[in-house]
Chains A and B, each alone.
Chain A
Amino acid sequence: EVQLVESGGGWVQPGGSLRLSCAASGVTLSNYWMSWVRQAPGKGPEWVANMNQDGGKKYFLASVKGRFTISRDNTKNSLYLQMNNLSADDTAVYYCTRDVQGDYLYYMDVWGKGTRVTVSS
Chain B
Amino acid sequence: QSVLTQPPSASGTPGQRVTISCSGSRSNIGTNTVNWFQQLPGTAPKLLIYINNQRPSGVPDRFSGSKSGTSASLAISGLQSEDEADYYCAAWDDSLNGFYVFGTGTKVTVL
A binding-site residues for B, Cβ under 8 Å: 35, 37, 44-47, 50, 59-62, 95, 100, 104-109, 111-114
The number of chain B residues touching the other chain, given as a range, is 20 to 34
Q: A1 CA to B21 CA in the complex, in Å?
A: 33
- Chain A proximity mask over B52-94: 1 for CB below 8 Å, otherwise 0: 0000100000000000000000000000000000101011100
User: Interface majority SS on A: helix, strand, loop or mixed?
Assistant: strand
Q: Is B24 part of the binding interface, using a Cβ–Cβ cutoff of 8 Å?
A: no
Q: A108 CA to B102 CA in the complex, in Å?
A: 11
Report which of A59, A100, A111 forms a contact with B45, defined as CB distance below 8 A: A111
Question: Number of contacts between A and B (CB, 8 Å)?
Answer: 66
User: Interface majority SS on B: helix, strand, loop or mixed?
Assistant: strand
Contact A105 B45 (CB under 8 A): no
Contact B50 A47 (CB under 8 A): no
Within 8 Å CB of B96, what residues of A? 62
Contact B47 A108 (CB under 8 A): yes
